[in-house]
Chains A and B, each alone.
Chain A
Amino acid sequence: MKNATPPPIPKPGGAPVKNAVSVRALDVTLDGTHVLRGVDLAASTGEWVNIIGPNGAGKTTLLRALLGLVSFDGEITIDGLSDRRRSSRARKVAYVPQTPVIPPGMLVADYVLLGRTPHRGVFAAETANDRKIAAEVLTRLDLGGFGERTVQSLSGGERQRAVMGRALAQQADLLLLDEPTTALDLGHQQDVLELVDALRRERGLTVIATLHDLTLAARYGDRIAILAQGRVAETGPPADVLTVQNIAEYFGASVRIVDDPDGPVIVPTAGAGRDPVAQNGDQP
């Protein structure tokens, strides 16, 4: 997959692109805490938007709102979704949670097949087609021989891929990833994000992900939104959003930014202003 050359994404600006998701004036209050305040966000079909922001900013809550897991004020529109049934939504939106629940004793094959739940219905057995899709997903994720293992017995990276496999088996148009790389080493981080990117190009998936690694967020996203204290503080192309000032302001971090052909590289510094390269990043 790494050596495959994916076709380019259709450039925005040509034909008007439909919004796969749009969020307007989203307010969420959890147990008296005003977690999201007037969030506006949109992602066009096939776009990859990364949401970054400090811990507690409300990233997970935003994804949960998109999944219909929390009650909210405001408006969330998901392309092609008209009724409010959970099963309809689950056919449109797939989710990789930040800390997935690993069911004791469940086999990887059964776990990935859970992704077919919204298609088969709660009472029906999975069809041959469901099994075929799950098998393809497992192969695609390099988990081909793991079907009979328990999810518990997998390593961190294998587990993360199994969770990803369950989401991919849903065959939804919109993929929500909550810190999908946190448990992974660098190689596996890349593998997972490359896979998502490849699938996005093949199937026109729309991806909304939260990521802590800003360099990865810049490399894999079309657009970045900074969420801070429940508001969207900045949104735009990675190079515009990932500035030294923004990172200082919203993350309280001192960094310098190295321009690389593949996008900005964010390097933490021990103290601000000591390295002349930091000046480059200051003026994008």
Chain B
Amino acid sequence: MSDQPAGRADVVLQASGLRPGPLAAGLAAAVIAVLAGLTIGPVDIAAHRVALQLLDGLPGVTIDSGLSDAHAAIVEQIRLPRVALGLLVGATLSVSGATYQGAFRNPLADPYLLGIAAGAGLGATIAITSNLGDGAGVLDPVPLAAFAGALISVTVSYVAGHLGGRSTASLILAGIAVASFLTACQTYVLQANSDAFRQIFAWILGRIATSGWSEPALMLPYFLVTVAVVLRYRRALDVLAVGDEEAAALGLEPRRVRMIVVLAASLGAAAAVSVSGLIGFVGIIVPHTVRLAFGTSNRLVLPLSVLFGGAFMVLADLAARTALAPAELPIGVVTAFLGAPFFVLVLRTSRREIW
């Protein structure tokens, strides 16, 4: 506490936030992933023509992309919805994971922590085994049942966790108990209907499959709600990083903040799971990669998880459908197969302490 040189207090102090550099990197990743997803496939279509075709699709813009009608149709009716779904699902799962990690102050938290995966799995299993019919799109019973199962399990975990003392630990333990119970139920239903095994297994491994625009349209509102709520609370999540007690002493209502962001994240994750199955790993790997690369403040982790999560999923889906073409790999396999080594690489090269 020696005397300070005069004028030191004038040094401008910067708060962490989304700086132009990282934002540009995230946007570039998303754009590159989208163009790659639209360009690469059984028929390769030049990226600049794809870009022109997309611009042509904008209202009030007329550009001749030079694509044949067949190629234009492939881009706009087959690849574009699929890329859009990949973006939405990847972005939602990543931002949900980042939110869970912040809200529970736990690096291992992912969107499935409170039983979303188990609940959705049970719901889907029941729908598939009971042959509820196969209405397409919004009326398809499998995603509806998965969505219901996911929301029920999160709600039960939350209520049980609060009964057990309201700490984050009791909430996590309640989630584990609920997930185990629902997984046991699912196993039981599966055993009784072993003929449906393949179909259920395929659902669990996940897929970014579209029939026209119905899946992305279904996903879009949940994505928007989740991202809007969670980003609004990004500063509150930074305050929560000092723990409930100190956050409360700083004027925050920690439990209310946690409940709002966790429910918003859960809603998005439940929707993502119900359209795409259980795609693991994204919710953990993308937020941590962002932290390692750019810093731990939720002001940048949350928005960048949206961009990089979307990009990652589109690229993973691209790999899933091209690696063994014409066969498709389950997307969950690809996210882990590509994601794990990449993450180890990032861990090795980053010198940032993130947890």
Binding site for B on A (CB under 8 A): 1-2, 64, 67-69, 85-91, 93-95, 97, 100-101, 103-107, 109-110, 113-115, 117-118, 122-126, 131-132, 134-136, 138-142, 144, 147, 150, 152-153, 170, 191, 194-195
**Beyond A105-B355, A125-B15, A195-B1: 7 further Cβ-contacts under 8 Å?**
A90-B250, A97-B245, A97-B249, A109-B16, A115-B250, A123-B236, A136-B9
Which residue of A68, A104, A110 contacts B353 across the interface (Cβ within 8 Å)?
A: A104
Q: Do A126 and B15 touch across chains, with their CB atoms under 8 A apart?
A: yes
Contact check, B15 vs A131: say whether CB atoms are below 8 A apart: yes
The reply to whether B235 and A125 form a contact with Cβ atoms under 8 Å apart is yes
**Beta-carbon contact of B251 and A86 below 8 Å:** yes
Residues A117 and B354 in contact in the complex (CB < 8 Å), given A123-B232, A136-B9, A144-B11:
no
Stretch at the interface among B23-31, B60-68, B290-298: B290-298
Residues of chain B lying within 8 A (CB to CB) of residue A122 = 233, 235-236, 239, 251-252, 257
Are the C-beta atoms of A139 and B246 separated by less than 8 Å?
Answer: no
Question: B residues within 8 A CB of A113?
Answer: 13, 15
Please name the 10 residue pairs, one residue from A and one from B, whose CB atoms are nearest each other, closest first: A105-B296, A90-B251, A118-B251, A87-B251, A103-B241, A101-B243, A135-B13, A95-B249, A117-B250, A104-B355
- For B232, give the chain A residue with the smallest CB separation: A123
B side interface size, CB within 8 A: 40
State in angstroms the CA–CA spacing of A42 and B349 once bound together. 55
For the complex, what is the distance from the CA of A152 to the CA of B297, rounded to whole Å? Answer: 14
The verdict on B166 contacting chain A, using a C-beta distance below 8 Å, is no
Across the interface, do B242 and A69 meet the contact criterion of CB distance under 8 Å? no
Set of chain A residues within 8 Å of B17, measured between Cβ atoms: 125
Query: Closest CB of chain A to B208's CB: distance in Å?
Result: 32
B1 touches A109 (CB 8 A): no
Q: Are B235 and A104 in contact (CB under 8 A)?
A: no
**What separation, in Å, do the CA atoms of A105 and B2 have in the docked complex?**
28
Q: Are B250 and A118 in contact (CB under 8 A)?
A: yes
- Of the A-B pairs whose beta carbons lie under 8 Å apart in the complex, a sample of 17, sorted by A's number, is A1-B2, A90-B249, A100-B246, A101-B242, A103-B242, A104-B353, A105-B355, A106-B238, A106-B296, A109-B14, A110-B238, A115-B250, A117-B250, A122-B239, A132-B13, A139-B9, A150-B353
Do the beta carbons of B297 and A110 come within 8 Å of each other?
Answer: yes
In the complex, which of the residues A95, A103, A118, A125 has the most CB atoms of chain B within 10 Å of its own CB atom? A103
Whether A67 contacts B249 in the complex (CB less than 8 A), given A105-B353, A122-B239, A142-B1, comes out as yes
Residues of the B chain whose Cβ atoms lie less than 8 Å from the Cβ of A69: 245, 248-249
Minimum CB–CB distance for A107 against chain B, Å: 6
Contacts of B198 in A (CB 8 A): none
Question: Of A94, A100, A124, A170, which one neighbours B242 at CB under 8 angstroms?
Answer: A100
Contacts of B238 in A (CB 8 A): 106, 110, 114
Q: Inside 8 A of B232's CB, which chain A residues have their CB?
A: 123
Q: Which residues of A contact B9 (CB under 8 A)?
A: 132, 135-136, 139-140
Residues of A within 8 A of B296 (CB): 103-106
Specify which chain B residues have a CB less than 8 angstroms from the CB of A110 in the assembled complex. Answer: 15-16, 238, 297
Interface membership of B194, Cβ < 8 A:
no
Tell whether, in the assembled complex, residue A114 and residue B250 are in contact, meaning their CB atoms are under 8 Å apart: yes
Whether A144 contacts B250 by the Cβ 8 Å rule is no
Contact of B348 with A by CB under 8 A: no
Q: How far does the Cβ of A38 sit from chain B's closest Cβ, in whole Å?
A: 25
Q: Could you say which of A64, A114, A140 contacts B239, with CB atoms under 8 Å apart?
A: A114
Chain A residues with CB under 8 Å of B295's CB are 105, 107
Q: Which residues of B contact A103 (CB under 8 A)?
A: 241-242, 296
